[in-house]
Structure 1
Amino acid sequence: MELQADVAIIGGGVGGVSAALAALRAGKRVVMTDPTRWLGGQLTSQLVPSDEHRYIEDDGANASYREFRNALRGYYRSHFPLTDAAKADPHLNPGHAWVSPISVDPRVIVNVIEELLQPYRSADRLVVLMQTEPVAVEVDGERVTSVTVRTTMGEDAGAEHVVAAPYFLDATELGDLLALGGIEHVSGRESQEMTGEPGAWPTADPTDMQGVSWCFAIDHLDGEDHTIDRPADYEYWRDLKPHQLDGRNILSMGNDLDAHGQPVRADGTPGKRWSLSPNLDDDVIDLDHRNMGAWNELWNYRRIAARRQFRPGFYRSDVVVVNWPMNDYVGGPLFGMPDAAHHWDQAKALSRSLLYWLQTDAPRPDGGTGWPGLRLRADVAGTADGFAMYPYIRESRRLQALHTIVEQEVSTTYRGEGGAERYPDSVGVGHYFWIDRHHTTGDGRGKGGLPHPFEIPLRSMIPVRVRNLLPACKNLGTTQITNGCYRLHPVEWNIGEAAGALASYCLDNGTEPHAVVESPGAVSDFQQHLTDRGVQLRWDENKRW
């Protein structure tokens, strides 16, 4: 079956949803696909509460993202029995988590996304194909002509659709259209010669990628035993010491302690140590990650339901998402290798053994081991096995764009107090506490550093060759290093909105992205179009990391 659209969005994650809203609100007909049963990507099917920056409540977000965040808080105020204090809190954080200022149940996010999209479904301007993945991309010269997608699960498993549109947005988590269409891209780590980045490795390796995490949600019911069956491969994971971790067991509470009781790595440099205190009360949350010390509490790290935010007795336990250092899988990449499917399986296997370890062998502060009362919350994940529908992807294929953002343009190490590069063609802003580079599947972890509040240049979203495909996820023109701050939730939202708005702008004005970016007048006109939409293009010149 062939489906026609003005804008075809392959991938329904954070960027895909934002792109769809931008195109739909511009009057366009949209076809969108997603490989899971939930739209929202990182926020929902991957179970990752939003990673945001310290200015987010007042600055550094598009109007549409603020609308989304307000809708999440409004949903809780309308439907949940919050305490009076929580309900009145303008910065309500249902999970009272320190990783995110708005940490919520993924099912609430799914409902809010559906509410945002429902008017366009009703008007027959939006078609969404769930549990559907791209399998082929047809390219004629410098233009994508169609994308064939296949439903992988459910009653329609095996059904295929050919999606045709003037513009295609790659909002897939792994940059799938880039590979299927032979569109110029990179993956893994680049070399210093390729990017000119001081922090890059001397050699490139397209298979050396940041690890993924297969997340899951748990609560804790004291006095009950919810221990899962011992995984057949548990001993392997329990004893594993990946070389990327410098001799530390992956299933551990962090680095060993020195004579002064401080965590240190094997090379003597300061390390990290984690604690776990199920259902701790009266914990003080500091959302400023700059204040993170050497000891971190995991229970309130990515907590998505804090009992004390709700009327007494409503929740039997807090609910937390396990996206912790122990389930960062570094065994191999999820694409680009013949054994990629094996690594999909192994990433989930690590998380399964992590859960069992937490229930049985993990060291407790009282000297005992394990918390058998930890209960896997399959309902939160929306899956039969209790684990997220999709692994948390930190790094995908990256577009070879007209401009590649390098660390010298954003890093405080190289920018000093001058702030990040200001681009004449900015189409959005972003920020995060770190250039966050997790351990990788190859040589470990390169330099990251700290980013100043930064901008998204339009040129980083324009392919070097193909004329009608745009990135709408974490697949724009970054390097492996700068991906570490351009991949977070609000930045991905802004990338998606810029992509959906640009495709619509080109359709309305009879032009194309390359022509826009090559004309200062057209760039200025498009920027005004974005500003009218509520897109933030610049930071206050005084804002710094």
Structure 2
Amino acid sequence: MTTRDISTEVLIVGAGLGGVAAALAAADRGARVVLTEEFPWIGGQLTSQAVPPDEHPWVESFGVTARYRALRDGIRDVYRRRYPLTDGARAKGELNPGAGWVSKLCHEPKIAVGVLEEMLAPYRSNGSVRLLERMRPVGATTDGDAVTSVTLDSETGEPSITVHADYVIDATETGELLPLTGTAYVTGFESRTDTGEPSAPEQAQPDNVQALSVCFAVEHVDGDNTIERPENYDFWREYTPAAWQGNRMLSWTAPNPRTLEIDTRAFEPNPGDDALAVDADQSRNAGDKNLWYFRRIAARDLFEPGFYDSDICLVNWPSIDYFLAPVLDASRDVELEHYAKARQLSLSMLYWMQTEAPRADGGTGFPGLRLRPDVMGSSDGLAQAPYHRESRRIRALTTITENDVSYAVRGDAGATRYADSVGVGMYRVDLHPSTGGDTYIDVASTPFEIPLGALIPQRTTNLLAANKNIGTTHITNGCYRLHPVEWNIGEAAGHLAAYCLDQKTTPHVVHADVTRLSDYQAELDAAGVERHWPEGRTFAY
């Protein structure tokens, strides 16, 4: 196959939430953009990974960018315009179509795909954004400390493409451009000596990375929908990780993230709860006692009778966390091997639920559980892409540590306030069991800011981070990895690339020059990027 060559001003690799936000910001400011995506759907963790948005309790009022709010409003608008909602659901201002307890906006992932595509449509139509679909980065060229091109292979057998660009934004889920471009990065746990973090180990553990998960959606209907017994079912059925304290992973039991005590959760399909009364606020109620409605993405009682045969339940639970081995920096063959094993784990959990899971009535198994491939946009009913909680992370101008966000450390002083802030976020430090055998690490945090220096590598001059690959540590990644924060990071990166093109400068200069930094931040303010929390917003959850 021959390799085609194209040129652009800004190349954004990865069309997850950070990548799409970067493309919108850069194009809106006048830059020419090439945006690439490996999987069939754009949107990353919200869509191809099928993870409902993890957001802070005040998301309906403040603490996200104007563009992210437009995404949320667009999702609700689709339901109001196109779905047969009940009168009560239609009148509810903060409509939560799934009435899930994990988020104030649980919804089917394909709805978000459509809204994201609509947001990009004007820029694709006028040619300022070109989307290269089903392309994965495999190589790069550099000139000194600058990236000059990135080569992408097609997932569908089309010719490879080499994109030459003035600025390159790594919005991939695992920081895939960092090793390809020679950009310095870290993986796994840093040592306490390096970061001074109370929760860090004494020695660095670069291969100790959070679990990844392959999510799936099910409904519960009449009949026997039991899948074929998964090939690796016997292994997973008997698997008892140390964190589970002698209990099997395929069960309703798992460690409580905050206490580490073993909790036993309920599972009751279509419980007939008051879906309109659900008030998703994890600072007050974790909402995971009945796993059915924890991440429910369609609550049938919010729609006209008979429209849905069943609720739709999104499975993203501890029992599908895959942590047998890290995949960052593994060969492609090994990486795909572990993805296949993670898929086997998810299918094994489903098979266990269908055949062996204890029921409240004393019976076993829920054979009525049925996969929804149409909801996942896949042939097998599993999410198109694995949900990575952790990425390679750039060695950045600024590294955010536990001491910058922990409520136990900062108290009522609040999180560190940055002169170069380009946005805000809020979430607990929520680290899942990891490949090094660790159990959960859960640290209460305060509302935090996103420093520009965390997006800029120490050395590489024209590459920006726009996903979970910014300058956090293993620990602070646990609160900077969520949907609205990723979007904010991407939006700031895309705007910065376009600003630098227009002003004929570089990110390092903008970061160091007070006048240029102020000009750039003023543009973010005008675009609806909130860079500081309201005064007094220092409490934690």
Q: TM-score range by the shorter chain?
A: over 0.9
2:425 aligns with 430
Confirm whether residue 273 of structure 1 aligns to residue 268 of structure 2.
no
User: TM-score with structure 1 length normalisation?
Assistant: 0.95
Looking at structure 1, the residues matched to 368 and 100 of structure 2 have their Cα atoms a distance apart, in angstroms, of 21
SS at match of 1:235: helix
Q: Bigger shift: 439-448 or 480-489?
A: 439-448
Deviations 1:199-236, CA, capped at 9 Å, x for gaps: 10111121110001100110000x31100011122111
1:372-391 map, 5 Å = 372-391=367-386
**Counterpart among 478, 481, 490 of residue 472 in structure 2:** 478
2:324 aligns with 331
2:337 aligns with 342
Confirm whether residue 218 of structure 1 aligns to residue 211 of structure 2.
no
Distance 1:214 1:5, change over 3 A: same
Looking at structure 2, the residues matched to 292 and 245 of structure 1 have their Cα atoms a distance apart, in angstroms, of 23
1:105 aligns with 108
1:172 aligns with 172
Cα contact 1:273–1:295 (8 A) shared by 2: no
1:76-225 map, 5 Å = 76-153=79-156, 157-221=157-221, 223-225=222-224
Q: Which contiguous aligned blocks of 4+ residues in structure 1 show a shift greater than 6 angstroms?
A: none
Confirm whether residue 66 of structure 1 aligns to residue 103 of structure 2.
no
User: TM-score with structure 2 length normalisation?
Assistant: 0.96
Shift of 1:286: 3.6
1:229 aligns with 228
Cα contact 1:35–1:132 (8 A) shared by 2: yes
SS at match of 2:387: coil
Shift of 1:290: 2.7
1:304 aligns with 297
**Counterpart among 391, 401, 405 of residue 396 in structure 2:** 401
Cα contact 2:355–2:365 (8 A) shared by 1: yes
User: Which amino acid letter does the alignment assign opposite residue 243 of structure 1?
Assistant: A
User: Which amino acid letter does the alignment assign opposite residue 516 of structure 1?
Assistant: V
Deviations 1:225-282, CA, capped at 9 Å, x for gaps: 1000111221111111123433221101115xxxxxxx999xx963322111101112
Cα contact 1:8–1:31 (8 A) shared by 2: yes
SS at match of 2:223: coil
Shift of 1:102: 0.6
User: Which amino acid letter does the alignment assign opposite residue 17 of structure 1?
Assistant: V
Cα contact 2:57–2:283 (8 A) shared by 1: no
**Counterpart among 518, 521, 531 of residue 525 in structure 2:** 531
Shift of 1:55: 0.6
User: Which amino acid letter does the alignment assign opposite residue 316 of structure 1?
Assistant: D
Cα contact 1:12–1:39 (8 A) shared by 2: yes
**Counterpart among 273, 279, 288 of residue 282 in structure 1:** 273
Looking at structure 1, the residues matched to 64 and 256 of structure 2 have their Cα atoms a distance apart, in angstroms, of 38
Confirm whether residue 22 of structure 1 aligns to residue 25 of structure 2.
yes
Distance 1:169 1:294, change over 3 A: closer
Shift of 1:80: 0.7
Distance 1:37 1:264, change over 3 A: closer
Cα contact 1:43–1:50 (8 A) shared by 2: yes
SS at match of 2:443: coil
2:37 aligns with 34
Deviations 1:289-345, CA, capped at 9 Å, x for gaps: 133469611111111110011111111110111101110111111222353332111
SS at match of 1:138: strand
**Counterpart among 38, 44, 49 of residue 46 in structure 1:** 49
2:503 aligns with 509
Cα contact 1:169–1:499 (8 A) shared by 2: yes
Looking at structure 1, the residues matched to 203 and 279 of structure 2 have their Cα atoms a distance apart, in angstroms, of 39
User: Which amino acid letter does the alignment assign opposite residue 109 of structure 1?
Assistant: A
**Counterpart among 500, 509, 516 of residue 522 in structure 1:** 516
SS at match of 1:296: coil
Cα contact 2:420–2:511 (8 A) shared by 1: yes
Confirm whether residue 411 of structure 1 aligns to residue 414 of structure 2.
no
Deviations 1:455-476, CA, capped at 9 Å, x for gaps: 0001111110011000011110
Looking at structure 1, the residues matched to 261 and 287 of structure 2 have their Cα atoms a distance apart, in angstroms, of 8
Looking at structure 2, the residues matched to 269 and 15 of structure 1 have their Cα atoms a distance apart, in angstroms, of 32
User: Which amino acid letter does the alignment assign opposite residue 366 of structure 1?
Assistant: D
SS at match of 2:289: strand
**Percent of pairs with identical residues:** 49
Looking at structure 2, the residues matched to 443 and 319 of structure 1 have their Cα atoms a distance apart, in angstroms, of 32
Looking at structure 1, the residues matched to 80 and 281 of structure 2 have their Cα atoms a distance apart, in angstroms, of 25
Looking at structure 1, the residues matched to 6 and 73 of structure 2 have their Cα atoms a distance apart, in angstroms, of 34
1:260 aligns with none
User: Which amino acid letter does the alignment assign opposite residue 333 of structure 1?
Assistant: P
For structure 2, the residue ranges without an aligned partner over 5 or more in a row are none
**Counterpart among 475, 483, 490 of residue 489 in structure 1:** 483
SS at match of 2:429: coil
Q: Bigger shift: 117-126 or 90-99?
A: 117-126
Shift of 1:401: 0.2
User: Which amino acid letter does the alignment assign opposite residue 213 of structure 1?
Assistant: S
SS at match of 1:311: coil
User: Which amino acid letter does the alignment assign opposite residue 281 of structure 1?
Assistant: G
Distance 1:190 1:78, change over 3 A: same
Looking at structure 1, the residues matched to 180 and 287 of structure 2 have their Cα atoms a distance apart, in angstroms, of 44
SS at match of 1:2: strand
Distance 1:229 1:447, change over 3 A: closer
Q: CA RMSD in A?
A: 1.6
Looking at structure 1, the residues matched to 467 and 296 of structure 2 have their Cα atoms a distance apart, in angstroms, of 25
User: Which amino acid letter does the alignment assign opposite residue 10 of structure 1?
Assistant: V
Cα contact 1:49–1:103 (8 A) shared by 2: yes
Q: Bigger shift: 157-166 or 98-107?
A: 157-166
